Amino acid sequence: MGAKTYFVTTYGCQMNEHDSERLAGMLETEGYSQADSPDEAEVVVFNTCCIREKADQRLYGNLGHLKPIKDANPDMKIVVGGCLAQKDKATIQKRAPYVDVVLGTHNLGSLPRLLREAEHGPAFEIVEQTETFPSALPSRRSSPWHGWVSISIGCNNSCTFCIVPAVRGREASRRLGDIVAEVEALVVDGVVEVTLLGQNVNSYGRDLDGTPMFARLLRELDRVEGLERVRFTSPHPKDFRDDTIAAMAESRTVCEHIHLPLQSGSDSVLRRMKRAYNRGRYLEKVHKVREAMPGIAITTDIIVGFPAETDAEFDETLSLVEEVGYDGAFTFQYSPRPMTEAAEFADQIPKEVVQERFDRLVAVQERWSLKRNEAVVGRIEEVLVEGSSKKDASRVTGRTRTNKLVHFSDDTAAAGTFRTVEVTSASPHHLEGALVGGPRRDPRPTLTLPLVSATSGCSSCP
């Protein structure tokens, strides 16, 4: 009999990518090895997302594709885990009765047991409380040099568009000592860059000590010898405080990039979204972080077509995007989600209006992405090599500390090693570069584009 094999398909965010490493780790501990495609695997896992409606549809499409393959191979076990499983519970059984195992976001660790139970019939288990932090389970890391590290799970906010609190539960922070110990172990294992994960990393520690401890965590991690780069996602603008900005600026390891989700540039929309900040307060934070870390790259998330969004409100988003000049943005069309307040709001915006606004926003953002990238042409950057370029196998791809993709030629560059590269040209989504000797990188860059003006006050903050 051949070796038992598995294949994991991941949808959604970095938390899910990290969870998938744990699902794969547990399967490898059970003696499975990775298959080349889901069609060939004995255990096929879908780690799902339900943040927007499209994510739901994709899962059922993929399950439908597997059905005839499973019919021909009755030993195949299909596992559905993650946020959509947590949300849909019985629906999966109804829509895809051939699924063998369903597990939710709080009981990843039950996978081996549920697979054994599935030998005797479908094994579905959804629990409402987290059993273990994903980082504490065995892992098959997808990268030898990069590590995802959960610092908190769940979310205590109540953004009216968002299903995450319903499927990921209440916020719970992990003990600081456990996080540092995990990062130290990762470094011993060859990791040079970590990304700290939480739905709202700034509120890390509030449930442990009564006060947020994210800044302290960054400073502690900065002392880990051999750790080169620290990234985190996502900070919530309402909780992005001066102590975090100072810790970022004063830490050797914290990279010059922040993903600061905006959602909307309109005060009235932000109020309806229950984001608990306004335009002025958001711009003030952008200004502060740029002042403390000149040249920091700023990226964001924006939702277009939130219920009752008027042309004037959308224009506020456009003008904020122009004012900040983001390095990049994930732009989303609003998608009504069950278990969220906004799904019940009046005045859902017609599809064609949303599409037209969305296209305009993307055009503005593309222009800024290019402008920001062009501003680094000629600079010397430290690049962490990720592997060969997908477009051109003779070139390698890596990332600057500002999280920009750079393609360059280097016959000897191995994934996970650092190179010094001069940026030679720019596109909206990547840079081209040339390998150079000399310093590892320019000292902290000076901003060549205007800083956001700090004119907008914050007197009407919630």
In the complex, minimum distance from the CB of residue 53 to ligand F3S, in angstroms, rounded to a whole number: 12
Spell out a b/e string for 254-285, using b for 16 or more CB atoms within 10 Å of the CB, else e: bbbbbbbbbbbbbbebbebbebbbbbbbbbbb
Q: Which does 334 bind (CB under 5 to 8 A by kind): ligand SF4, ligand SAH, ligand F3S, none?
A: ligand SAH
Task: Find the binder of ligand SAH among 52, 285, 357, 401 (CB under 6 A).
Answer: 52
CA angle 53, 58, 52 (to 5 degrees): 20
Alpha helices in 163-241 (DSSP H): 164-168, 176-188, 206-209, 214-221
By beta-carbon proximity to ligand F3S, the closer residue of 82 and 147 is: 82
Q: Which does 337 bind (CB under 5 to 8 A by kind): ligand F3S, ligand SAH, ligand SF4, none?
A: ligand SAH
Residue 193 near residue 145 (C-beta atoms within 8 A): yes
Q: Which residue is nearest to ligand F3S (CB)?
A: 12
Q: Which does 332 bind (CB under 5 to 8 A by kind): ligand SF4, ligand SAH, ligand F3S, none?
A: ligand SAH
Question: Please, what's the largest Cα pairwise distance for the chain?
Answer: 71
In the complex, minimum distance from the CB of residue 285 to ligand SAH, in angstroms, rounded to a whole number: 13
By beta-carbon proximity to ligand SAH, the closer residue of 362 and 435 is: 362
Task: Find the binder of ligand SAH among 96, 221, 258, 303 (CB under 6 A).
Answer: 303
Task: Find the binder of ligand SAH among 263, 266, 400, 456 (CB under 6 A).
Answer: 263
Residue 301 sits in the site that holds ligand SAH (CB under 6 A): yes
Binding region for ligand F3S (CB under 6 A): 12-13, 15-16, 49-51, 82-83, 164, 167-168
Q: Which has the closest alpha carbon to 387: 403, 398, 372?
A: 398
For the record, the structure tokens of 392 come out as 């051109």
Distance CA(230)–CA(362), nearest Å, equals 29
Give the range of 28-36, 319-327, 333-341, 352-360 binding ligand SAH by CB under 6 A: 333-341
* Three-state SS sequence of 370-430: HHHHHCCCCCEEEEEEEEECCCCCCCEEEECCCCCEEEECCCCCCCCCEEEEEEEEECCCC
Distance CA(45)–CA(262), nearest Å, equals 33
Q: Which has the closest alpha carbon to 55: 358, 361, 345, 337?
A: 337
Binding region for ligand SF4 (CB under 6 A): 155, 157, 159, 162, 164-165, 199-200, 236
Task: Find the binder of ligand SAH among 261, 307, 398, 433 (CB under 6 A).
Answer: 261
**Beta partners for residue 425, in sequence order:** 432
In the complex, minimum distance from the CB of residue 105 to ligand F3S, in angstroms, rounded to a whole number: 7
Name which of residues 16 to 45 contact ligand SAH (CB under 6 A). Answer: none
